[in-house]
Every structure is written in structure tokens, then in C-alpha cells.
Structure 1
Amino acid sequence: MESIFHEKQEGSLCAQHCLNNLLQGEYFSPVELSSIAHQLDEEERMRMAEGGVQSEEYRTFLQQPSGNMDDSGFFSIQVISNALGVWGLEIVLFNSREYQQLRINPINEKAFICNYKEHWFTVRKLGQQWFNLNSLLTGPELISDTYLALFLAQLQQEGYSIFVIRGNLPDCEADQTLQIMRVEQLQRPKLIGEDETQRVSVQQVSDTTHTTDEGVLEEDEEELRKALALSRQHMEVEDEEADLRRAIQLSMQGSASPISETAGSSHDTSSIDTLNAEELRRRRQAYFDRQQLSHSADSHSAGGLKDSETKPDQ
């Protein structure tokens, strides 16, 4: 799937990533999207001024921040719609009653863009196959035709707004390549933050091991002792592991994960929501430390991976 353009997350520029992944190229930059947002702001200001520049409504409008962009890099649906209009594309609300009454099979569409709590991402058909091009993933995620409708329904249930892309998308290498071949995906891509957190956690454990004489904080030592104790007590319970993974994903995104691996899991996250930031950080650190210790123990075993066989202290 090397030919598929997949722009990964930088800051809060998910709207830019969504558009570029949809169009399969570096078509928009933050500067260009900001220009569209400022133009929309000016048009709104002029409409408000028609009621009188001395009116209370106009003065209140001037004091409010832009609804089309913010300093973090977020852009509104109006900005996205105008950006797509440059390419002769328009958006239709998939969630609307009018569209649902048309009873169009989603696999007959060309692409969708999805939004939840200011995060945008693209689902697009390339060749004869569908791909989740979420910028939070390490790479494109293949979605089967039979799973596409379920995937979109799951997003709707989680509160996503979904828009159908209408019009002729620009030609791209991936679409041409996948018209004559099909791809298979043996392993789904992970969240970018998940891999980063794991690498950081592994490095922290290594640093702690090699710098115990260099003033390691007592709190970090206590966390490591807790992780060692857990690894000796057969605490690898599947339900706990699943809850921690979901908590880690939620903490990285600030909301429910949009990828299909999460879509198939339970929606009961009340226990996760009750965790405060410090407790979540501790549990997440302990979880990754435990994974690293388990991996280290397995590397000395000649019989391969044995996740639950941790020998007690002699």
C-alpha cells in the first residue's frame, strides 16, 4: 500500500490531513486553509454589519473568536466545504434523513469525511477497496465492503458526523494501481500515539535500570517496584488489559477512538471515565512496564512466547 498517500497527524491539523488524504496529495497547507477561514469570517462580519455597526449584536460578534478556525489548527466544516469546492466537490450529510431515505449502499459512494469533537478523518475508496485514512493511524486501514456499512453505523452511534463526498475526485496513483490489483492487510495499523508511548515507556525503564545511582526520583522507583510486583503475581487479566488499552487510546485522543478495532469493543467506559489524569498515568505506566518486563523474560525463554509464565522470586 506504498502508493496510498497517508498524511499523519501533526498538532491539531486534522482538517488539513483529512483533505489531503481525501485528495491523495499535498493539496492544502495551514496557510491556505487559514486564508479560506479569514474570508469566511469577513463574509460573516459583513452580513452582521448590515444590521448596523452600532448594534449590540454586531459588537458582540466582533468580540467572539472565529468559528471557522482557532490557534490550535482546527478548521470548521465551512472551511472544508469551501476547500473542496475549489475541486468541484460538495458534501452531503450522511446522517440526514433525506440521504438515508435514498437507501444508497455506502459501497457505491466514493468517499466520506467524518468528524467528532473537532477531529476530522477520511474514508475513501481506492480502486475497488475501501480504506480508513485517519491521520491518527500509522498507515491506511483496509475496510472490507461487507464491514463498511457497519463501520459507518458504529461511528454514527459514537456521535460522529459523517459527510458523503460528491463529484469527481482528482486522479491519483493509488486509485490507478488498485484498479488492476487488490491488496491484503495482515495486521491493522496502530494509533501513532500508542507506538510513541510504548517507545518512551521502554526507554524510561531502560534509563531507570542504568542510572539508579544518578538520583532517580522516588516516585519513579515506586512505580517500577509496583510493576515488578504485578509481574510476579500473575496479574495478566484480559479484561483489565482491554480496559487499559481503551483508556490509553482515550487519553491520547481525548475521545472515543475512531478506528475499527475500537468499534468492535464494548461501549461501557464508565470505569475509564472515573480515572483522573494522575491515576491514568500511573496505570498506563505500570501497564507498559509490565509489558516490557514480560518481553524481557520471554527473550530468555527457549520455548518462545509464554505470556502468563512468570517465575516467582527464589
Structure 2
Amino acid sequence: MVRDNCTCGSDMQLKMSAIMEPREDHVDITIYPIYHEKQSFGFCALHALNNLFQDESAYSRNSLDEICKALSPGSLLNPHKSLFGIGIYDVNVVFAALQGKDYEALWYDKRRDPSTLELSNIFGFILNILSPLTMWNISLGVNRRHWIAVREIRGKYYNLDSKLNAPWCIGEVEELLDFLRESLKDESKQIFVIVKKSVARDRLWQKKASPIPIIRVVRSEAIIVERSLEKFLGHMKR
């Protein structure tokens, strides 16, 4: 648990440095705790989801493994997670987990400026980035995909990356928009906007003057097995 004390420089150069590089004055140090799961093996998707919902019991390894089974029933080697039981869940699992709680993950078009987002209707963000693969805090010299959560908590936006020692205070709306703009410049990063299904259906997550295409799957190999998924989600709601 950590506390809140966020300060961001007013000068643009200082602001961008503060936004893109975690610093001590971006660590939350108020009396109000922020839930923050730390990285364990390849379970970044699990950590990102629980950090997003600020609830350690929102999801578990077992619940994500059950989603994997529902996506590929009868599969001897499940393609949606690591063979070795260390996580590394793919995008289908993250999407299905969110749908089970009545949320959608919407891919954000890099051609659009983040100012087109209607932040008041957005629950949070999940980013998929390239990150160094480590074991016991030792870099193995290769990169792999990594999931991180970003959301608003008590008027400020936080990067809840499980690889950070503590939640990193990005700042308020303008600082968040700068953070998203910088992230969008990196071709290796993908941003997903997390909203309630009703918000996605009515397109309330974007400002009316700036339509943005809704794309729920960004790569051909990330196709959700619809029948299995619907069956699983139906079971969850019982």
C-alpha cells in the first residue's frame, strides 16, 4: 500500500520528463491506500486487471486459466497462456475477463489525438508494451509483451504497472493526455480504452465531434472463439 503526493512541473520539458520517467515525487503517499500488485513471473495480465479494478480478488490465476480453457476447449496445449503455468496470458484472455464484468476493451486508433476521449465515461486504460524480460530482477536480455493498467483515483491518474515499486502518479487530465500522446508515438505500444459495455455500445467514450473506429481485436491471431466465450460468460453470470 502507498500514499498520494503528486507534483508535476509546469514547464513543458520538465512535464514530459516527469510523465515518461517515474520519480520519487510521483509516488503516492497520502493516507488513502492504492491497491498495487507487484510483478510475479508472467502474470502481468492478472496484475493489470486487479490493479485496474483496485481489487485483489477481482481475478485470480484460476479464473484466468478457466477463461483459457473456455477459449480453447479440449486443447492439449492451450494457446492463450504459458505452457509452464507462469501466466503470459494473451489479449483474448484479457478481453474475456473484462467482458465477464460487463466491460469492453476498445483499441485506440493511433491516428487520433487523446483529447478526443470523453474521460468522464472511461473506466481506465490498459496498455500492452514491450518490456525487458527479467527473472529475480535480473534482465534476460530479451523483450516480451507486458500489460499495465492506468486509471483515475481521487482526481489523479496513476500508472499501476506491476513492475514499478509503487503506483506512479501521472497527474491530472492534461498530464494524462501527454502520457497517452507519448505512448501513441511508440509503434510497439497499444492502448485499450476500458469502458462499460453500454458506453461502448452508445459510443459515449469519445467526444461527439470526433468519431473513432471501434476495433476490439488488433491482430489476426487474437480472434476470440465466440461460442466458447459466450458459453463461459454465461456460466459466470449464473
Q: Per-residue CA shift, 1:223-263, capped at 9, x if unaligned?
A: xxxxxxxxxxxxxxxxxxxxxxxxxxxxxxxxxxxxxxxxx
1:18 aligned residue: 48
Q: Does 1:127 align with 2:158?
A: no
Q: SS at the partner of 1:154?
A: helix
1:50 aligned residue: none
Contact 1:106 1:149 in 2 (8 A): no
Q: Does 1:37 align with 2:87?
A: no
Residue 136 (structure 1) shift = 0.5
Pick the aligned partner of 1:164 from 170, 190, 193: 193
Q: CA separation in 2, counterparts of 1:39 and 1:141?
A: 35
Amino acid at match of 2:165: T
Contact 1:107 1:148 in 2 (8 A): no
Amino acid at match of 2:178: L
Q: Which structure carries more strand by proportion?
A: 2
Q: CA separation in 2, counterparts of 1:161 and 1:135?
A: 17
2:25 aligned residue: none
Q: SS at the partner of 1:131?
A: strand
Which blocks of at least 5 consecutive residues in structure 1 are unaligned? Answer: 46-61, 169-314
- Cα RMSD for the two superposed structures: 2.4
Structure 1 residues 125, 69: closer, same or farther in 2, change over 3 A? same
Q: Does 1:149 align with 2:177?
A: yes
1:293 aligned residue: none
Which blocks of at least 5 consecutive residues in structure 2 are unaligned? Answer: 4-31, 131-144, 198-238
1:223-262 correspondence to structure 2 within 5 Å:
none
Q: Per-residue CA shift, 1:149-208, capped at 9, x if unaligned?
A: 22112222222111000118xxxxxxxxxxxxxxxxxxxxxxxxxxxxxxxxxxxxxxxx
2:80 aligned residue: 68
Contact 1:5 1:24 in 2 (8 A): yes
Q: CA separation in 1, counterparts of 2:180 and 2:114?
A: 16
Contact 1:92 1:164 in 2 (8 A): yes
Higher relative contact order (CA 8 A, sep 6+): 2
Pick the aligned partner of 1:6 from 25, 30, 36: 36
Pick the aligned partner of 2:105 from 91, 110, 133: 91
Q: SS at the partner of 1:42?
A: coil
Percent of aligned positions with the same letter in both sequences? 31
Contact 1:95 1:161 in 2 (8 A): no
Amino acid at match of 2:161: N
Structure number, greater radius of gyration: 1
Q: Per-residue CA shift, 1:245-295, capped at 9, x if unaligned?
A: xxxxxxxxxxxxxxxxxxxxxxxxxxxxxxxxxxxxxxxxxxxxxxxxxxx
Q: Which structure carries more helix by proportion?
A: 1
1:111 aligned residue: 124
Calculate the TM-score normalised by the size of structure 1. Answer: 0.43
Q: CA separation in 2, counterparts of 1:111 and 1:126?
A: 10
Q: CA separation in 2, counterparts of 1:103 and 1:121?
A: 21
Q: CA separation in 2, counterparts of 1:91 and 1:35?
A: 19
Residue 107 (structure 1) shift = 4.2
1:186 aligned residue: none
Q: CA separation in 1, counterparts of 2:174 and 2:190?
A: 21
